[in-house]
Every structure is written in structure tokens, then in C-alpha cells.
Structure 1
Amino acid sequence: MEYFITVEPGVRVFVQDLNPTGNRTILFIHGWPLSHKQFEYQFDILPSLGVRCIGMDWRGFGNSDKPFTGYSLDRLSDDIRVVIETLKLQNITLAGHSAGGALAIRYLARHQSFGVSKLVLIDAQSPGSVPQQDANRFIAGTLSDRPQMLAGLTDSFFFKYITEPFSNWFFQIGLQAAGWSTAAVMVTLRDENVRNDLGKINVPTLIINGVHDKVVPFTNAQETNKLIRNSFLVPFQYSGHVPFLDERDNFNQTLMQFIQ
């Protein structure tokens, strides 16, 4: 099933809801500058294992509306709250990748874990901000030659070899976003961070991070692990920034074991 959910007047976010009668639910929060489509190889498999898979596109990305404003961590996490309330979700697993990991962390801290009983952080942008020099480079690239910037991201996200068609598919996901929202979220990731939120997380937390991640170094995951009570870290030895694609079978198995 597919929905457009109004998160504030004039702004709708797109939601893909697969296997709504599943006995366990995962709400996936994608990374920058992508969409729920990045989790295709989870949506292909997990519903057959009894999981309800929900993917939402942030405002400004994927199939969602693309307003010019509203790209702070607080506002984006508030959008997650509206989706959870509208779909009447309870006792779900919230799984966030990269910047989506930061959003998931902010959601749990800001909304007292409303509706969420478990958290999965996948190469999450935590605990600090994106380094200023890197963020400024991404912003400048977005505003001058966004396709070239996206092509460079594809090269840096993967550890394993991917075919040219697969690379093109991943590239096209990024092109679905608006340029202004792509830049605005990177400004947020440069100027905000979730360090002070980590101590407020009170649900079991699985931290997955690619050992070869060039975007969020593995040391970040180790630090996040220390700052979240009741969390455990699983290194993915053959992954870069996207273990759900680099090691999709291992990722799916690890995720299923955690949500049992």
C-alpha cells in the first residue's frame, strides 16, 4: 500500500507500507540524499518472513512534497511522529541509515520513544556533525553540479563491486530529491548533531556499521555504542556505508535476529 500523509499544512510525505498484516513492524528511515527505495533488498525479502516493512521519504526527497523549508532535525523527526501516529503504529522497530540514523536518534529523544520499542542505527551520522569541510564541499557540489556530486557519492558509499546498471539505479534515487532540500539537509548535518540525544535513548539498540565506511567511520559507531545504554555494535567486515546493499543477506539475517 502507498500513502501520502500530511505532516503540516501543504506538506505531504510519501509512505510505502508493505505487508501491513505482518506480525512485526519496521519503519525504515533512509539516508541523505536518497529515499525509501534504497531499502529495496529488504522490502523484497523481509515481508515473506512476516515483517511489515514501512518506508517513508523525508520531505524534499523521493516521492514526498518538496517545500523550501523545514529541514531541521526537529522538524524532520516531527514528520516521523506524524507518520507513526497516523498509521497507529505501536511497538515498532525504527531503523535509520546515515542521516536517517540521526533522525531516528532525535525522534526517540524528542518524542520519548513514542510507538518505538527497538532502534536500529545503520552507519548513523552520530554522535557528531558532518565535518564542516566535507559538508561545505557537498553543499557547493549540490548547488553547482548535483549530478556530479551524486556520482561521487555512489563511488564512496560502496565497498563491494557494483555493476554500472546498479550504480545508475542508486544514482537515480538521489536525483529524485530537490536540489534545495539536498543542500538544506547537509547544512543541518553540518550545524546540528545528536550527541546530547544519545543518553535519552531507552530502548534496545542495534548498531550496524561497515568497517570500511568512508562516510561515517567505524570509530563513530564505537563512540555511539558507548553513549547509548543497552546498545550493541555489529561490525560488517565487507561493507562500506551501505551494508544493507554490500552485505544484504547478512544484514537481513542480523536485523531479523534483533527484532525476534
Structure 2
Amino acid sequence: MGYFVYVEPGVKLYVEDINPESSKTIVFLHGWPLSHKQFEYQFNVLPEKGFRCIGIDWRGFGHSDKPISGYNYNRLAADIRHVVGALQLNNVTLVGHSTGGAIAIRYMSRYNGYGVSKLVLVDAAAPVGFTKETADQLLQQALRDRPKMMRDVTDTFFFRYITESFSDWFFQLGLQAAGWSTKAVIKMLRDEKLYTDLPKLSAPAFIIHGIHDKVIPFAQAEELHQSIRNSQLIPFHYSGHGPFWEEREKFNRILTQCIGE
């Protein structure tokens, strides 16, 4: 089922909640500039295995409201805290991909992992996001020709071959975002760092990362593993930035194993 949760006056987030009667809950935070729909190939499988899957669209993206402000790690993490509180979630596994992984890190650090028992970071944009050069290029593209920017993002995202139909679907996910939120998060990824957050993480962390990732280098996953105590690094040898699709069977199996431990 889908519904909205207010996170501040006039701003509500879209939540996709599949199999809500299950007590084994996974909360998914998508990457930039996508939406919860990027996890379709998890939502197709995991609820049938008895898991509750909750996908949250950040403010400015997917079906959520798109205010002009609030695009920084503190506010985006606060939004997730409101959803966790509103749904009275506890003992959940928090899965964050790319920028969603960075938001998950700030959430765990700022709120002492409230309601979360395990953390899964997937090609996380942490402890840093975009370089200044990459961010400035993306900003120029976003202001001049955002569809071209999204097409270029799609072309560099995956290591494995994707069909033209899949590319078109993925491309459209990125265009659901507002132009201003797309731009604001590029600046956030350029300017905000997460080094001081990492030592504060206490929940078991599983770091999944494609070794062929051209967006966030695998070296950053190794740095996270060194900086986060009680973490495990799981390389995906046939993936770029999208192991949730490129090696989806392995990805889904790892998720169920993480939760079962």
C-alpha cells in the first residue's frame, strides 16, 4: 500500500509499504535522483519471503512533496526519523543506496540508530559524495538540459548490459524529481562530509559495493569498512553502481542473511 507521512507542516513524504503485517521490516532509502521504485526487484521478491518492505521517497523526489528547501543531511535524516516514529518502527534493517546510504549514516549518527538494528550501505556516497569537478559539471547539465544529465547518469550507472527499455524506465525515475531538488542534492554531495559520523555508528553494518562502480569508487567502501566498527565489506564482482539490479539474486540473498543473523 502507498500513503503519505507529514514530516513538517506542508511537507509530506510518500511511503510504499508492502506486506505490513510482517514483523521483519526492511526500510529502503533510494539514491539520487531516483525514487523507491529503484528497488522494484527487491519488492518483487522479499515480501513473498515474509519481509515487510518500506520504500521512502525523500522530499523533492519520486511521489513526495517537493519544497524549495530542506536539502541537507540533517533535514533529510530528520524526515526519516519522522517516518520511523509515525509508523512506530522498531528493530528494522535500514538499507541505503548511494546518497540514501549517506542519509542513513547521518540518521544513525544523529538519532543513535533509533529503531534500527542493522544497517546495509549499498555503494554509499560516503564519507564524501561528488568531487567539485563532477558536481560542477552535473550542476551545469541540470541547469541546461536535465534529461541529458539523467541519460548520462544512466549510461555510467551499470556495469552489466541494460536493454534500451530498462534504460528508458530508469531514466524516467530520475525525471520524477524536481529540478531544484536535483540541483540542491548535487551541492549537498559536493559540500557535506560524513567523517565525524562514522565513529558514532554502533549497529552492525554490511557494506555492499560494486567493484566496477564509476560513480562511487570501491575504495570508499574500503574506507567505510575501516572507519565503521562492527562492519563487514561484501564486494559485488559483477556490478557497477547498481548491485540491487545487476546482481539482484545475490543482493536479495545477502539481505535475507543479514536480517537472519
Q: Smaller-chain TM-score range? A: over 0.9
How do 1:166-245 residues align onto structure 2 when only pairs under 5 Å count? 166-245=166-245
TM-score (norm 1): 0.99
- The whole-number CA distance in structure 2 between the counterparts of 1:239 and 1:217 is 12
- The whole-number CA distance in structure 1 between the counterparts of 2:151 and 2:23 is 38
- The whole-number CA distance in structure 2 between the counterparts of 1:80 and 1:74 is 10
- The whole-number CA distance in structure 1 between the counterparts of 2:151 and 2:57 is 21
> Structure 1 residues 129-138 or 167-176, which shifts more?
129-138
User: In structure 1, what is the equivalent of residue 132 of structure 2?
Assistant: 132
How do 1:29-108 residues align onto structure 2 when only pairs under 5 Å count? 29-108=29-108
Question: Could you tell me the percent identity over the aligned residues?
Answer: 58
CA contact (8 A) 2:210 2:218 kept: yes
User: In structure 2, what is the equivalent of residue 17 of structure 1?
Assistant: 17
For the aligned residue pairs, the C-alpha RMSD in angstroms reads 0.6
Once the two structures are TM-superposed, the CA of residue 241 in structure 1 deviates from its matched residue by 0.1
Deviation digits for residues 18-56 of structure 1, max 9, x if unmatched? Answer: 000123100000000000000000000000111100000
Once the two structures are TM-superposed, the CA of residue 129 in structure 1 deviates from its matched residue by 3.3
- The whole-number CA distance in structure 2 between the counterparts of 1:14 and 1:128 is 27
- The whole-number CA distance in structure 2 between the counterparts of 1:72 and 1:24 is 30
- The whole-number CA distance in structure 1 between the counterparts of 2:27 and 2:139 is 28
Amino acid at match of 1:124: A
TM-score (norm 2): 0.99
How do 1:237-256 residues align onto structure 2 when only pairs under 5 Å count? 237-256=237-256
Q: Which 4+ residue blocks in structure 1 deviate beyond 6 angstroms? A: none
User: In structure 1, what is the equivalent of residue 147 of structure 2?
Assistant: 147
**2:173 counterpart SS class:** helix
- The whole-number CA distance in structure 2 between the counterparts of 1:136 and 1:33 is 16
What stretches of structure 1 of length at least 5 have no aligned partner?
none
CA contact (8 A) 2:129 2:216 kept: no
Amino acid at match of 2:139: I
Q: How many residues are matched? A: 260
